[in-house]
Structure 1
Amino acid sequence: MSKRTIHEPARDIPVLMEADVVVVGGGTTGPVAAIAAARRGKKVVLIERFGSLGGILTLGLNTKPSGALVGGLPLEIWNLARSVGGAGDDYMATTKTGGVKIASPTDPEIMKMLLTRLCVEAGVQILFETFVSAPYLEDGVVKGVITESKSGRQFVGATVLIDCSADADMAAKAGAPFVMGSGGHESEAKMQPVSMYFIMKNVDLKRLADWAQTCEDIPARAIPATVEGLDYGLWLTGFNGMLRRFQEETGVKLQRDNITLKTADGQMYINATRVLGVDVFSPKQFTDAILECYRQIEGVCRFLKERVPGFEQARLGQVSPILGVRETRHILGEYTLTGPDSRGETHFDDSIAADSSALDIHDPKGGDVDFQSMPPYEIPYRTLLPRGIEQILVAGRCISADHEAHARSRNMPACMATGQAAGLAAAIAVEEGVAVRQVPIAKVQAALRELGMPLRADEVKL
């Protein structure tokens, strides 16, 4: 049976503003892209559907980049956060496969303010509480975007559009090819599961850290040597055996084999929920996943209070208002980053970033998390270029990467690095009067090096 439809009459759409560069999405990636382009003197509009910047980093309470920040604007932003007490020192986490250097978590509220301030200082026009419904094209060339807000439907013109929507919404709606998750037949595609962070208050961090030192059920950890270091430096992953026993003894059913605990500004941030097989483009399935995360959060809080030293007096402090989505569309670009590429096996002449993010795989079938250190690798500019559509760049977790490579390129250091490169490339394309597909890559690379961004894997200093 065909679905019922309605007819929407044609109408003229008022032009809100024109820009050199429009960035869609103000999460972890978009602000970096916008700042990079605006600092080269371009007129930049950053459009965000929520009322603050940072996305999963801030609103999503994720707080941590899952890898080292090796240079450029990402490192500048973190150093600024440190200078105002919004982040701590980087730390080396011990895992089953060796050490992983991780940039300190950040205070999400401070980071919201810093990202906004940096954008405004660079001259970026931010449009909060504005949803971008579609790109506008003429003869296969992007000319701007259609927005929806309390002012109604409006148009924002652009010479270059940067899609930082995380799900490649603009590229897909423009007609760019893509695959979902692992690719293959759509019904068989596998994607990493969704989850939701939350905070527990009144945790005795010293008691927890002392107990964790001798607990064999926490194979991955970073435990500071000082009490002061607990504010930003405590990171614990495991509890697998304890979780199994808890579920067997109480009948409470949880969906994840392990729990990750980490501190930021002395608060305890918890990653412990999981929902498999969610079509995040279905409003009903998306809603059902949120409700399931709420159910799981109640069970995890009970587990922690009853079984983990330091949580005896703890209570639920905050639940993320957004669902954490790890994987959806991967655009098909001029080059697709592969698993071997992401292990550092390939050098690219058009590299726009050397990344050292951890390998971080949440099994689409529901197994344990695979989190481990790997050698730095390079990301080529061609992964930002969707096939068949002109004047659009993608950045963030939706770049052209296969399912295996995505386990590294989806992490925040890589997302911020591709955002930085996309912003510079867009600005340089405007300066040179060329399409982003023909932008002189040597000039982009020179601009990146001026920002202190390593481009070759062997240039990364950890």
Structure 2
Amino acid sequence: MRMIREPARDIPVLIDADIVVVGGGTTGPIAAVAAARRGKKVVLIERFGSLGGNLTLGLNTKPSGALVGGLPLELWTLARSEGAAGADYFAGTKTGKVKIASPCDPEIMKMLLTRLCADAGVEILFETVVSRPVLDGDTLRGVVIENKGGRSFIEAKVVIDCSADGDVAAGAGAPFVMGSGEAGEDLKAQPVGMYFTMSDVDVVALARWARQTDDVPAQAIPEKDADLDYGLWLTGFNKTIRAYRAETGIDLPRENITLKTANGLMYVNATRVIGVDVFSATAFSAAVVECYRQIVEYARFLVATVPGFERAKIAQIAPVLGVRETRHIVGEYTLTESDVRGDKSFPDSIAADVSAFDVHDVKGADVDFQGLRPYELPYGCMVPLGVEQLLVAGRCISADHAAHGRSRNVPACMATGQAAGIAAAIAIEGNTSVRHVPIERVQGALREIGMPLHADELR
């Protein structure tokens, strides 16, 4: 590869903060609010012009699990009070039912997340990217950022990496594993996709058909038609997809699809591209182009084959690619599949989680979606090896490929963000490192805001 030399230059120090949170997606705003509510000067850096990431911009909207306490439950309660989310519901899976917080209105959620941050005193830098972390030895001092104003530096006592991809941690030299990390395995990570919505769907007719067919094995359908707007969730359509493929010869790569309702629209999770290196600009861009092709075909499929879609049309397409898995930062503890099946209790647990086990096969086979018993998230998963004054939260925590099937979901991401924000603040208060923060104090602060810490509290 040809190279050019970039000359060294002096850049201004823009802000001297207590805590910098990198990434304003699902995890970052929760981390920022948790820290700011303890009186810390917090800067939240977000590369887009709104908060929420895959939850809002990505049109995902649904937590894939219940929100059991703390800031995550506070946020969803606020959304419900604004008419931007419905009641929890139970979705059937092959291993039993899983309780799921209803989808939210993604546009209202953007504003609610921003309001929570503003009310807590968080300074948000929108349309800003982190170029690189700056270290003094093995201690993180802050991050270099770039935006329309140019290049500058933000100093911090603690940095929380909520970038989803572990960008700051990897840039600082923390060890990581990509996807499954299995030697000789070419397709290591869960596939990428892109949500879209459809309008003018007759949801009453769709619900009536879904109750009678055997082609939607996982479903949640409210008894009352009035509750369908935020309460309809359907996964399956495998037989219908196979028949359509055989009849038309059109490539619909995913074995099943998921439909859900929110704010008067039908949200469609159907696209799939496997084997994408999202750190390659060309591969990433090619995946976006392929998703657009698939969106057209899946919309035609729904109109042609599924009752209730006869007059439906595409309403919106997510402006971001939905990435399920990239780096797993190696931390003081690595969460395993056995752990997320509820086989272990942790003395340093910072949350009990009941998210679904949700694994999209790396080679494109059917989705493994299961409701399992509660499990615990230990603080050690958030503390990277080799770098001081850095925490990771969200889907890049230290977890193996299978465990990631639960820990990547919204409730777990929010829970780790909340714990990271509180731990960072307590470490600063006690003039200690985040690696050696008194975990009992962190757990006490979490209990004060109503966060269950152990699995047996949710059974």
TM over 0.5, yes or no? yes
Equivalent position to 1:278, from 263, 276, 279: 276
2:456: which partner in 1? 458
Matched-pair contact (CA < 8 Å) for 1:230–1:266: no
Task: Tell me if 1:215 matches 2:206.
Answer: no
Alignment of 1:85-96 (within 5 A): 85-96=83-94
2:234: which partner in 1? 236
Shift in Å at residue 228 of structure 1?
A: 1.2
Task: Tell me if 1:127 matches 2:125.
Answer: yes
Matched-pair contact (CA < 8 Å) for 1:177–1:387: yes
Shift in Å at residue 97 of structure 1?
A: 2.2
1:294: which partner in 2? 292
For residues 389 and 441 of structure 2, the distance between their equivalents in structure 1, rounded to whole angstroms, comes to: 18
The C-alpha deviation readout for 1:299-330, integer Å capped at 9, x for no partner, is 10000001001000000000000000000000
The secondary structure found in structure 1 opposite 2:17 is strand
What do you get for the CA RMSD once the two structures are aligned? 0.8
The secondary structure found in structure 1 opposite 2:225 is coil
The secondary structure found in structure 1 opposite 2:254 is coil
Equivalent position to 1:439, from 427, 437, 440: 437
Shift in Å at residue 130 of structure 1?
A: 0.2
1:157: which partner in 2? 155
Q: Which amino acid aligns with 2:249?
A: G
2:21: which partner in 1? 23
Shift in Å at residue 100 of structure 1?
A: 1.0
Matched-pair contact (CA < 8 Å) for 1:180–1:189: no
Matched-pair contact (CA < 8 Å) for 2:187–2:363: no
Q: Which amino acid aligns with 2:29?
A: P
For residues 85 and 140 of structure 2, the distance between their equivalents in structure 1, rounded to whole angstroms, comes to: 39
Number of corresponding residues: 459
The C-alpha deviation readout for 1:218-274, integer Å capped at 9, x for no partner, is 000001111111010000000001001101111110110011000011210000000
Q: Which 4+ runs in 1 deviate beyond 4 A?
A: none
Equivalent position to 2:49, from 44, 48, 51: 51
The secondary structure found in structure 2 opposite 1:379 is strand
1:144: which partner in 2? 142
Q: Which amino acid aligns with 2:279?
A: F
The secondary structure found in structure 1 opposite 2:441 is helix
Alignment of 1:60-79 (within 5 A): 60-79=58-77
Structure-1-length-normalised TM-score? 0.98
Task: Tell me if 1:36 matches 2:34.
Answer: yes
Unaligned runs of at least 5 residues, structure 2: none
Q: Which amino acid aligns with 1:291?
A: V
1:179: which partner in 2? 177
The secondary structure found in structure 1 opposite 2:18 is strand
Q: Which amino acid aligns with 2:273?
A: V
Matched-pair contact (CA < 8 Å) for 1:176–1:386: yes
Shift in Å at residue 187 of structure 1?
A: 5.6
Q: Which amino acid aligns with 1:389?
A: V
The secondary structure found in structure 1 opposite 2:31 is helix
1:397: which partner in 2? 395
The secondary structure found in structure 2 opposite 1:428 is helix
The secondary structure found in structure 1 opposite 2:98 is strand
For residues 310 and 135 of structure 1, the distance between their equivalents in structure 2, rounded to whole angstroms, comes to: 51
Matched-pair contact (CA < 8 Å) for 1:183–1:189: no
Alignment of 1:181-200 (within 5 A): 181-185=179-183, 188=186, 190-200=188-198
Unaligned runs of at least 5 residues, structure 1: none
Task: Tell me if 1:373 matches 2:364.
Answer: no
Equivalent position to 2:386, from 380, 385, 388: 388
Equivalent position to 1:358, from 356, 359, 366: 356
Q: Which amino acid aligns with 1:430?
A: I
The C-alpha deviation readout for 1:308-363, integer Å capped at 9, x for no partner, is 01000000000000000000000110000011111111111100011110000101
Matched-pair contact (CA < 8 Å) for 2:47–2:128: yes
For residues 388 and 397 of structure 1, the distance between their equivalents in structure 2, rounded to whole angstroms, comes to: 20
Structure-2-length-normalised TM-score? 0.99
Shift in Å at residue 96 of structure 1?
A: 2.5
Equivalent position to 1:304, from 285, 302, 305: 302
The secondary structure found in structure 1 opposite 2:347 is coil
The secondary structure found in structure 1 opposite 2:157 is strand
For residues 364 and 187 of structure 1, the distance between their equivalents in structure 2, rounded to whole angstroms, comes to: 10
Matched-pair contact (CA < 8 Å) for 2:186–2:275: no
For residues 251 and 57 of structure 1, the distance between their equivalents in structure 2, rounded to whole angstroms, comes to: 33
For residues 104 and 247 of structure 1, the distance between their equivalents in structure 2, rounded to whole angstroms, comes to: 32
Percent sequence identity is 68
Shift in Å at residue 185 of structure 1?
A: 3.3
Matched-pair contact (CA < 8 Å) for 2:61–2:104: yes
The secondary structure found in structure 2 opposite 1:299 is helix
Equivalent position to 2:78, from 77, 80, 98: 80
Matched-pair contact (CA < 8 Å) for 1:233–1:262: yes
For residues 375 and 349 of structure 1, the distance between their equivalents in structure 2, rounded to whole angstroms, comes to: 19
For residues 269 and 87 of structure 2, the distance between their equivalents in structure 1, rounded to whole angstroms, comes to: 21
